[in-house]
Amino acid sequence: MTARIVLLVTSPRLPAGLLTAQAWDVVRRFPVFAGADSELATAIRVAGGSPVTAPAPEPAEETLLAAAAEHGTAVWLAGPAGDADLARRLGLRLAREPGLAELELMYGSWDPPGARLLDAVEVIDRLVSPGGDPWKRQQTHDSLARYLLEESYEAYDAIAAGDLTALRDELGDVLLQVVLHARLAQELPDGERWDVDDVAGGLVAKMIRRNPHVFAGAQVDGIDDIVDNWERIKAAERAASGAASGVGDRPSPMDGIVLAQPALSLADKVLQRVGRAGIDVPLPEPGAAPDPSTRLGANLLALVAQARAEGLDAEGALRRVAVAYVAAVRAAASD
């Protein structure tokens, strides 16, 4: 039987020793080698696998070939980069000497979905920790606020332009802001401190609560039921939060509206909430406004109400026309 050399590749983002059954079978039965000691090597030893040894002074491929010839199989624990140089040397050697041994790449574990998010957290932690990036270390939630808005708008622009490659990059910038804010929050005083796991944990809990048709077997009849459930659960959360904080137990339909958003989208959200709550509050009359600025605001609010009645997005409509006007001005200026 032809000797075999197994290059065992594992995910550096999973706990050491979390291997497939096939990988555990191999490391228990055959000699295992590695370029350096590691948490995985320790886990294999502790779990009763073969003692992991570093190669002899001669090149590692010679050690592996000798062990494979003696035991039928030899295992190499590849490093995080996959030990591409060793694999290349072995591949060239075995191509020159067919029948000497077979080279097999075995994945002992794979990166789970979202694994690179752990890398993002690690990189930001390094940048904010002592010895990291001085600029990031001196930032605060207040100083970063404008960047969060800018990056969000740039992602919006990529969507509006239909540029999904740019959107991927812009979402990375938004993610940077999220992870950076979470890392800075780790420096808060005891009792106020939180981190990225708290952010993710809150998101998970919220999604489970607000989607009972997925996680709790609730019956829904179409998208309208799903949206109604979402708003009802959200209102109950606001009421519970207000009661816990001593604010009172009569929540307003205006609670939770982000007042810092652009004015047209703010007006649209306010009118949406009023409609859902079934409250009949007349719009301000432009003619009764005491000054031109207030009259203009009342007219704009009436236009947003008209847009909603026609199923249109006032914010998006104005943005598209403004962007088209920008293009027209650019064209005129270049003539």
pLDDT in tens, 178-234: 999 999 999 999 999 999 999 999 999 999 999 999 999 999 999 999 988 998 898
* Sheet with strand 52-53: strands edge to edge: 52-53, 32-34, 73-77, 4-9, 102-107
Helical packing angle, 84-96 and 60-71, nearest 10°:
60
- Domain 116-260, second-level architecture: Orthogonal Bundle (1.10)
- Cβ-contact 304, 298 below 8 angstroms: no
Domain-wise residue ranges, the chain: 4-107, 116-260, 261-335
| Token digits of residue 265 | 């989208």
Question: How many Å is the maximal CA-CA distance in the chain?
Answer: 97
* Cα separations in angstroms, 316 against 150, 157, 321: 17, 11, 9
What is the predicted pLDDT for the residue at 35? 83
As a whole number, the mean pLDDT across the chain is: 89
Alpha carbon distance 182, 176 (integer Å): 10
Task: Report residue 57's pLDDT band, with 50, 70 and 90 as the boundaries.
Answer: low
* For the chain, percent of residues with pLDDT exceeding 70: 95
Task: Report residue 321's pLDDT band, with 50, 70 and 90 as the boundaries.
Answer: very high
Residue 96: pLDDT over 80: yes
* Cα separations in angstroms, 21 against 10, 25, 49: 13, 6, 13
What's the mean pLDDT in 87-108?
90
Residues ≥6 apart with Cβ < 8 Å to 150: none
Model pTM?
Answer: 0.70
What's the mean pLDDT in 50-60?
70
* For the chain, percent of residues with pLDDT exceeding 90: 60
Residue position matching structure tokens 């890398």: 119
214: left (phi over 0), alpha (psi -120 to 50) or beta: alpha
What is the predicted pLDDT for the residue at 312? 94
- Cβ-contact 253, 278 below 8 angstroms: no
What is the predicted pLDDT for the residue at 106? 94
Residue 58: pLDDT over 70: no
Task: Report residue 82's pLDDT band, with 50, 70 and 90 as the boundaries.
Answer: low
What is the predicted pLDDT for the residue at 134? 96
Give the three-state DSSP class for 23: helix
What's the mean pLDDT in 230-240?
84
Residue 102: pLDDT over 60: yes
For the purposes of burial, counting CB atoms within 10 Å of the CB of 200, is it exposed (0-12), middle (13-18) or buried (19 or more)?
Answer: middle
What is the predicted pLDDT for the residue at 289? 79
Residue 61: pLDDT over 90: no
- CATH code for the structural domain at 4-107: 3.40.1010
What is the predicted pLDDT for the residue at 26? 93
What is the predicted pLDDT for the residue at 257? 85
Alpha carbon distance 275, 62 (integer Å): 77
Alpha carbon distance 124, 135 (integer Å): 12
Least confident range from 22-31, 88-97, 103-112, 247-256: namely 247-256
Task: Report residue 248's pLDDT band, with 50, 70 and 90 as the boundaries.
Answer: low
What is the predicted pLDDT for the residue at 335? 76
What is the predicted pLDDT for the residue at 245? 56
